Chains A and B, each alone.
Chain A
Amino acid sequence: MEEQYQVMPGPEAFLPPSAASMGIVLPDPGQAHIEGRLVDEEEAYEYAARKLLAAKVPTLFPGPLVLWRWNDKAAKKAAAIRKLANALPARLIPMADYRPKYPKINPAVEINPNHPNLTIWYNKIDVCIFIGVHCHQANLALKIIRGGTDCYTMAMCAQAGHEDACLSFRDADPAKIEKLTAAVEKLKSEGVKSEAEDFDQFVTAREG
């Protein structure tokens, strides 16, 4: 029997194959996938929390669906993301929109789905998680990251999940983000320490 393809960190190739074409299927409700293996969601929380805590530069990439206050749920997700970032600690780098920016993006303070590798390289990010990025843009960015960097990618997807992430949750809501935070706090209480290098959270408001 042919061995199952594993969605591992890259660099896979200039143009990595889509995980779906390699036989990776999306998780059902209540499940997640870890490197292509379908698992119970609870298992994935702990796995994701360990990955984030073990990273030198763990980074959360909040997208437009949580950065902009479309509704109260978006605001709740934003609050949960901030709590997760503080609990880890992790950097927060926004993907505020998807336009190709001219003349160039500033990789120190933002990420763009058209060339997310620039932000990964610049900040030496080794583990990241996408939250609140529209599916097609997340797919694009995840593939580029896996193609050209060695960053471990995760997706907290509000829809059906992402095959091209190394680890993906589905049906994300504020409660699920809180659960990930709780998993981080539990591991920390058990003595697992964050390996994150010291950093200052970017404050990019005009005053900053």
Chain B
Amino acid sequence: MSKEKIAICEDLADIMPPEYHDMVENATFGNQDRSWKDIGSSKELIEQHSLCAGCPESIAFRFIMSSIPNPEDSVFVGSTGCTSLVFPHVGIHNIHSLFGNQNAVASGLKRALAVRFPDRIKDVFVLAGDGATVDIGLDMTMQSWFRQEKFTTICFDNELYANTGGQESGLMQRGFVAKMAPKGKNFDKVRLPEIAFEAGCHYVAILTVSKPNRVEQAIRRATYVAREFGPTYIQLYTPCILEIGKQSMEGLDEMKDSESIGGRFVMRELMTDEVKAFLKEKEAEDKARRKKAKTVTA
């Protein structure tokens, strides 16, 4: 897929529902400075979703889809879970993998795309829940990092198995009692960000999705670093409001509480000095380009 492919045949254009015309004419494909601020004013790459009302995961989806720099040449690899209910609705290529296999599938895909399109930047993202990333799929996740596969792994961390009814997961907090974990968890939350960094990820971030600017920054950084250096990892807290006994309106507060000082989701970034220097340069370049574009427009 590329931007040139996103066009409607002229002879049948008049019978296409308006949302498709919107997609072609007003989506942010091809705009390298696309951002979460386009949500609401441009055709979004995810409009409707099948998640619960107020689900923080749906917010995360919107921020991620609006932040990736190259949607027309990006592919998402997902795994079974609430995320997989959303993928049929997104305007980006995606592959559904067998549970836990997502990083293995993404490895093959990224390599194949590099062979098939050597002159084109093709971004691959894994987007899976904590069960697929940290428990059942940990082998595939970590092996892809050891092999230095050049793609970004995004984990939607809701600290349990949400869509099967609330079983204990590795990322659950110690002592937490869930519907199907009535005795409470008796070991600590797996420190996957630190493990990821030690396993070879060049950029790691852990945060909630309460602040779109931060999510966008993390996604863009992870994407750029994955292109140049190797694997990157982002862990986003997307609490399951149903499984932790919250109302639809309380997801945002839950995320804000968890990222307040001393909280387990205070934003952290781990990166090497080389990556730090690279990002500094890249972000300065982007800033200069945007400034120049603004001056020209004015």
Stretch of B15-23, B136-144, B181-189 contacting A (4+ beta carbons < 8 Å): B15-23
Contact present for A205 and B16 (CB under 8 Å): yes
Using Cβ atoms and an 8 Å threshold, which residues of chain B touch A66? 9, 12
Contact present for B14 and A78 (CB under 8 Å): no
Contact present for B8 and A99 (CB under 8 Å): no
Q: How far is the CA of A102 from the CA of B89 in the complex (A)?
A: 9
Contact present for A202 and B9 (CB under 8 Å): no
Contact present for B21 and A206 (CB under 8 Å): yes
Q: How far is the CA of A208 from the CA of B17 in the complex (A)?
A: 10
Contact present for A201 and B15 (CB under 8 Å): yes
**B40-56 interface bits toward A, Cβ cutoff 8 Å, 1 = contact, 0 = none:** 00000000111000000
Interface range, B side: 20 to 34
Contact present for B13 and A68 (CB under 8 Å): no
CB of A94 closer than 8 Å to a CB of B: yes
Contact present for B16 and A67 (CB under 8 Å): yes
A102-B48, A204-B16, A208-B14 known; A69+B9 contact, CB < 8 A: yes
How many A-B pairs have beta carbons closer than 8 Å: the answer is 78
Best-surrounded residue of A67, A69, A94, A99 (most CB of chain B within 10 A): A69
| Shortest distance from the beta carbon of B80 to any chain A beta carbon, whole Å | 16
Contact present for B10 and A78 (CB under 8 Å): yes
Q: Closest B-chain residue to A205, C-beta based?
A: B14
CB of B88 closer than 8 Å to a CB of A: yes
Using Cβ atoms and an 8 Å threshold, which residues of chain A touch B49? 102
Contact present for A67 and B8 (CB under 8 Å): yes
Contact present for A70 and B5 (CB under 8 Å): yes
CB of B119 closer than 8 Å to a CB of A: no
Using Cβ atoms and an 8 Å threshold, which residues of chain A touch B48? 101-103
CB of A92 closer than 8 Å to a CB of B: yes
Q: How far is the CA of A117 from the CA of B12 in the complex (A)?
A: 23
Contact present for B20 and A96 (CB under 8 Å): yes
CB of B249 closer than 8 Å to a CB of A: no
A67-B9, A68-B8 known; A204+B88 contact, CB < 8 A: no
**A94-123 interface bits toward B, Cβ cutoff 8 Å, 1 = contact, 0 = none:** 101011111100100110000000000000
CB of B7 closer than 8 Å to a CB of A: yes
CB of B274 closer than 8 Å to a CB of A: no
Q: How far is the CA of A101 from the CA of B47 in the complex (A)?
A: 10
Contact present for B16 and A75 (CB under 8 Å): no
**A185-204 interface bits toward B, Cβ cutoff 8 Å, 1 = contact, 0 = none:** 00000000000000001111
Contact present for B10 and A99 (CB under 8 Å): no
CB of A62 closer than 8 Å to a CB of B: yes
A99-B88, A102-B48, A204-B16 known; A68+B21 contact, CB < 8 A: no
Using Cβ atoms and an 8 Å threshold, which residues of chain B touch A77? 9
Contact present for A78 and B21 (CB under 8 Å): no
Contact present for A203 and B15 (CB under 8 Å): yes
Using Cβ atoms and an 8 Å threshold, which residues of chain B touch A78? 9-12
Contact present for A102 and B16 (CB under 8 Å): no
Q: How far is the CA of A86 from the CA of B154 in the complex (A)?
A: 50
Q: Closest B-chain residue to A81, C-beta based?
A: B12
Q: How far is the CA of A62 from the CA of B89 in the complex (A)?
A: 20
CB of A79 closer than 8 Å to a CB of B: yes
Q: Closest A-chain residue to B90, C-beta based?
A: A99
Q: Closest A-chain residue to B12, C-beta based?
A: A78
CB of A82 closer than 8 Å to a CB of B: yes
**A52-80 interface bits toward B, Cβ cutoff 8 Å, 1 = contact, 0 = none:** 00000000001000111110001101110
Using Cβ atoms and an 8 Å threshold, which residues of chain A touch B17? 94, 96, 106, 109-110, 204
Q: How far is the CA of A106 from the CA of B14 in the complex (A)?
A: 16
Q: How far is the CA of A96 from the CA of B13 in the complex (A)?
A: 11
Contact surface of B with A, Cβ cutoff 8 Å: 5-18, 20-22, 48-50, 88-89
9 tightest Cβ-Cβ pairs between the two chains A and B? A78-B9, A69-B7, A78-B11, A82-B11, A99-B88, A102-B48, A206-B18, A79-B11, A78-B12
Known: A100-B88, A101-B48. 10 other contacts (CB 8 A): A69-B9, A79-B11, A82-B11, A92-B15, A110-B17, A201-B14, A201-B15, A203-B14, A204-B17, A208-B14
